[in-house]
């Protein structure tokens, strides 16, 4: 389903083209021109790493940031606000993610090419060979979960590994803090899930949430919201992006019986945060399967990764091998046995779903992604 038009960054000056001395306007635009406005690209999330990718003969092209991706069309944010991209024939929109930077022709907005990403959040879904792209060029991943019985450390560890693998900084956002007498026990359940992990408890529907999350939402910063349906991702987006009632992302009630959401949001979209940051809403994920996240797991479970070199066997699974330093730490009470169990389950699932290098030329082959639950 369509999310409707993307909202332009409020009160921004306009400048077209990449060169600093580029003309301030192109024909046909009705937006009032206020020149010069070089910081605006930076507030969109544009950085030296993207600028360096633009060749001298591409200087007349316009940088645009993908805001929505649908099967046959994409919209983007640019210096003039939201635009619909003109797609060349045979373009596959599944190769693009919300948050991607692309170069387009000024005026026509014909898509020329995508720039290399600095981060990419992706996941393999059941039955699909290609990973699903969640969002690109995200600085901080808000892993959203509620202060209720649905809070599940094993599920959060999956999201943490995904964030680490993508190169984004994870922050756990506990919503519905207004529904409990004291959010502290919920915060206590999540802070130990990764070294240095930051977590915040908020009422997603109150303006105070924006103040609490401001450190990650500054100019040029991009955050993405992920989590189960009904945890309050879209509610949080509406608060952070200060959406009016008619431009707000739709939010949905949750079932009383089991606190599960109804999958209200159905596509990913990029929105401006007043002050210069960007925020990406995503549909609720039923089950986050893991693949290709070995490095991300080592960050989430760093205390296990740190112990592993002390094991007798280099490929120790820390299950039954003699001389296992990890098992010794559990026996000595220095490592939580439940955490080791959760690591093992994730590491096994990751190994099962990750492409293996086979054949003389090292061709990658992907094991069929099973029907397992």
Ligand X SMILES: Nc1nc2c(ncn2[C@@H]2O[C@H](COP(=O)(O)OP(=O)(O)OP(=O)(O)O)[C@@H](O)[C@H]2O)c(=O)[nH]1
CB atoms inside a 10 Å sphere around CB 10: 11
Nearest to 46 by CA among 60, 33, 65, 25: 65
Task: Out of 316, 330, 335, 340, point to the residue binding Zn ion (CB under 5 A).
Answer: 316
Q: Which of 176, 268, 318, 339 binds ligand X (CB under 6 A)?
A: 176
Residues 338-367 binding Mg ion (CB under 5 A) are: none
Binding of residue 251 to ligand X (CB under 6 A): yes
Position 234 contacts Mg ion (CB under 5 A): yes
Best CA proximity match to 67, nearest among 211, 241, 260, 275:
241
Q: Which of 74, 83, 231, 330 binds ligand X (CB under 6 A)?
A: 231
- Between residues 268 and 318, which has the closer beta carbon with respect to Mg ion? 268
Stretch that binds ligand X, among 50-58, 83-91, 256-264, 354-362 (CB under 6 A): 256-264
Which residue reads 């915060």 in tokens? 187
* Contact (CB, 8 A) for 353 and 124: yes
Q: Does 265 bind Mg ion (CB under 5 A)?
A: yes
Q: Is 15 helix (H, G, I), strand (E, B) or coil?
A: coil
143/340 with CB nearer ligand X: 143
Q: Residue 145 binds what, of ligand X, Mg ion, Zn ion, none (CB under 5 to 8 Å, by partner type)?
A: none
Which phi and psi angles does 156 have, rounded to 5°? -65, -35
CA atoms within 13 A on the CB side of 77: 28
Task: State in angstroms the smallest separation of the CB of 250 from Mg ion.
Answer: 7
Smallest distance from ligand X to CB 251, Å: 3
Among 166, 254, 297, 326, binds ligand X (CB under 6 A): 254
Q: How far is CA 77 from CA 12, 21, 270, in A?
A: 12, 21, 8
Q: Total residues at the site for Zn ion (CB under 5 A)?
A: 5
Task: Provide CB contacts within 8 A for 18, sequence distance 6+.
Answer: 51, 54, 58, 59, 60, 61, 62, 63
Residue 204 as a binder of ligand X (CB under 6 A): the answer is yes
In the block, residue with structure tokens 């899930």: 193
- Which among Zn ion, Mg ion, ligand X, none contacts residue 316 (Cβ within 5 to 8 A by kind)? Zn ion
> Are the C-beta atoms of 81 and 9 separated by less than 8 Å?
yes
Taking the least distance from each CB to ligand X, the nearer of 60 and 206 is 206
Contact region for ligand X (CB under 6 A) — 69-77, 149-157, 249-257, 315-323?
Answer: 249-257
Residue 190 interacts with Zn ion (CB under 5 A): yes or no: no
d(CA 36, CA 24): 8
Q: How many residues bind ligand X (CB under 6 A)?
A: 25
Cβ 56 vs Cβ 90: under 8 Å: no
213 binds, options Mg ion, Zn ion, ligand X, none, Cβ within 5 to 8 A by partner type: none
Cα gap 352→255, rounded to integer Å: 34
DSSP-based three-state secondary structure for 271: strand
Distance from chain centroid for Cα 197: 16
Taking CB under 5 A as the criterion, the residue among 65, 233, 318, 342 binding Zn ion is 318
d(CA 261, CA 307): 39
Cβ proximity to ligand X, 103 vs 231, nearer residue? 231
Q: Which two tokens stand for residue 144?
A: 């959203």
| Binding-site ranges for Mg ion (CB under 5 A) | 233-234, 264-265
| Binding-site ranges for ligand X (CB under 6 A) | 175-176, 178-179, 203-205, 229-235, 251-254, 261-265, 283-284
| Binding-site ranges for Zn ion (CB under 5 A) | 311, 316, 318, 324, 326
């Amino acid at each position: 389903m369509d999310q409707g038009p993307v909202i332009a960054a409020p009160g921004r000056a306009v400048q077209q083209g990449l060169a600093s001395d580029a003309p301030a306007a192109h024909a046909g635009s009705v937006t009032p021109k206020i020149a010069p406005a070089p910081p605006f690209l930076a507030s969109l999330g544009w950085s030296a790493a993207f600028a360096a990718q633009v060749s001298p003969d591409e200087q007349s092209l316009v940088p645009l940031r993908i805001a929505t991706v649908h099967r046959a069309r994409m919209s983007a944010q640019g210096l003039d606000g939201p635009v619909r991209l003109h797609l060349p024939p045979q373009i596959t929109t599944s190769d693009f993610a919300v948050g991607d930077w692309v170069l387009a022709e000024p005026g026509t907005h014909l898509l020329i090419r995508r720039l290399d990403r600095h981060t990419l959040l992706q996941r393999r879904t059941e039955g699909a060979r290609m990973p699903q792209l969640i969002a690109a060029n995200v600085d901080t991943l808000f892993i959203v979960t509620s202060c209720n019985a649905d809070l599940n450390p094993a599920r959060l560890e999956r999201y943490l590994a995904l964030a680490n693998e993508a190169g984004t900084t994870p922050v756990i956002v506990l919503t519905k803090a207004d529904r409990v007498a004291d959010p502290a026990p919920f915060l206590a359940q999540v802070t130990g899930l990764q070294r240095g992990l930051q977590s915040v408890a908020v009422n997603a529907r109150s303006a105070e949430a924006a103040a609490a999350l401001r450190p990650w939402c500054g100019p040029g910063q991009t955050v993405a919201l992920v989590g189960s349906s009904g945890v309050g991702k879209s509610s949080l987006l509406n608060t952070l992006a200060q959406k009016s009632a008619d431009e707000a992302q739709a939010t949905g009630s949750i079932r009383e019986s089991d606190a599960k959401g109804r999958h209200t949001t159905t596509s990913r979209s990029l929105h401006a945060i007043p002050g210069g940051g960007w925020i990406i809403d995503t549909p609720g994920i039923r089950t986050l399967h893991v693949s290709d996240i070995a490095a991300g797991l080592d960050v989430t479970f760093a205390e296990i990764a740190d112990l592993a070199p002390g094991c007798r066997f280099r490929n120790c699974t820390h299950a039954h091998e003699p001389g296992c330093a990890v098992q010794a730490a559990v026996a000595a009470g220095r490592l939580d046995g439940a955490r080791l169990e959760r690591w093992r389950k994730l590491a096994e699932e990751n190994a099962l779903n990750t492409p293996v290098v086979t054949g003389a030329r090292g061709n990658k082959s992907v094991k069929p992604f099973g029907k397992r639950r």
